[in-house]
Amino acid sequence: MASRFNPDKQHTLQQSVSIQGTGLHTGVLAELTLNPANPGYGIQFQRTDLDGQPIIKADCDLVTDVSRGTTLEANGGKVCTVEHVLAALVGMGIDNCLLQINGPEMPIMDGSSQPFIELIEQAGIEEQDATKIWYSIDENIFHYDEEKRVEVVAMPATEYQVTTLIDFNSPVLGTQHAGLKNIREFKKEIAPCRTFCFLHELEMLLENNLIKGGDVGNAIVIVDKPVEKSQLDRLKKVFNKESVEVKSEGYLNNLELRFPNEPARHKLLDVVGDLALIGYPIKARIIANRPGHSSNVEFAKKIKQYIKKNKHTRDVPTYDPTQPPVYDQQYIERKLPHRFPFALVDKVIELSDTHIVGVKNVTFNEWFFQGHFPGNPVMPGVLQIEALAQTGGILCINSMPEGLYDTYFLKIDNCKFKQMVRPGDTMVLKLEFTGPIRRGICEMRGTVYVGGKVATEADLVAQVVKRSEAL
């Protein structure tokens, strides 16, 4: 990433770019297109070859298979082997992107993230006028798998750092480790590192027709046991190669290692890709001993739950009027149809793919104080809910692909008014998604804070409709 890259701002692509390749396990040729997306959209996949073109969010709670890669499934759609492209997006600092694919699996390319890095560089990176909210942890988070001898820990840190250690009891691999001290090093140090497998695993996969798109050009094959000539002849035939030999160090002669510890570095790549499914950018030091997709995803779920459990107590929004907003009134007017006297959001000060924080300054001159109530001005509760709804509308719209949208609120539940809002108060309006968007239906939890205390809270459900469809 360029030295002028601002890690505290959200980023997307400057333009759409495409790449074509075969899926490792399915053998299906597919075209993958990376598209720019609005601030707060996050990373989402779209199956353009299926009816309804379902959207699948990059979310660890949507993982359905981790046997040979990471598979996401939602809304009747499935995407497989997502970890390499996700790692590339994280490594290049891309927060918002719609990945459209006309097949079930990401192209394997050379088995690394490098082709996706090059694709992102081809598109160009665009800084967005929106703050990137980093999430920190205050305590160690552990994950153990005694059967697989996996240990993973996340520790408090001021940067996102990852260390991996691997030990397969292999005389060829030995014990290896790899480290990433800063995510800006990902492109050079980690992205080129390709997936690997042992020869006996390769033969098993071939026998069971599990790597239909496999090729000796997209994986490092480790040979740690004596190999008969008949085995090499079979591989030569399967992969249509003139010769297949075993090098003295125990690697099939298909590839030259790019780093002495390339397998350990690829495991680190997988960790970065799988932890992208947390859905929140984190600052933590990750140490993973013998990691795999299964442990990575389970660990991602633990971190996600920790953030969700603690952020409401630790992250009560604070409003600093000296700081520039994410969105000002002029931008809000371009997103929402509301105008005076019904525009009830002055600015947006935080925005991510899962939450938004807006501000409404309540003055004595508000039109509704004339009748509510003379001599005892109190802001009507219904207007506090309307302020939440307008703020939530911005969150919903920014989570959709590019276009003009309106939001229509369908339901309000569990509404509670805990303190009165009076002239001079500053309402801080926070909304968080409580579930994935399904067919334009958005479920949110809304809270109004005044002076750091909860004034109003409610559960809101809205539907996002394209402007042309709403007429």
Which position among 177, 200, 338, 372 bears the catalytic label? Answer: 372
Burial of 323 (0-12, 13-18, 19+ CB in 10 A): exposed
Task: Report the alpha-carbon distance of residue 299 to residue 303 in Å, rounded.
Answer: 6
Length of the chain: 471
Give the pair of three-digit tokens for residue 9: 């701002």
Which position among 266, 293, 338, 355 bears the catalytic label? Answer: 293
The three-state DSSP-derived secondary structure of the chain is: CCCCCCCCEEEEECCCEEEEEEECCCCCEEEEEEEECCCCCCEEEEECCCCCCCEEECCHHHEEECCCCCEEEECCEEEECCHHHHHHHHHCCCCCEEEEECCCECECCCCCCHHHHHHHHHHCEEEEEEECCCEECCCCEEEEECCCCEEEEEEECCCCEEEEEEECCCCCCCEEEEEECCHHHHHHHCCCCCCEEEHHHHHHHHHCCCCCCCCCCCCEEECCCCCCHHHHHHHHHHCCCCCCCECCCCEECCCCCCCCCHHHHHHHHHHHHHHHHHCCCEEEEEEEECCCHHHHHHHHHHHHHHHHHHHHHHCCCCCCCCCCCCECHHHHHHHCCCCCCCCCCCEEEEECCCEEEEEEECCCCCHHHHCCCCCCCCCCHHHHHHHHHHHHHHHHHHCCCCCCEEEEEEEEEEEEECCCCCCCCEEEEEEEECCCCECCEEEEEEEEEECCEEEEEEEEEEEEEEHHHHC
Specify whether 200 is catalytic.
no
Specify whether 372 is catalytic.
yes
Residues annotated as catalytic are: 293, 372
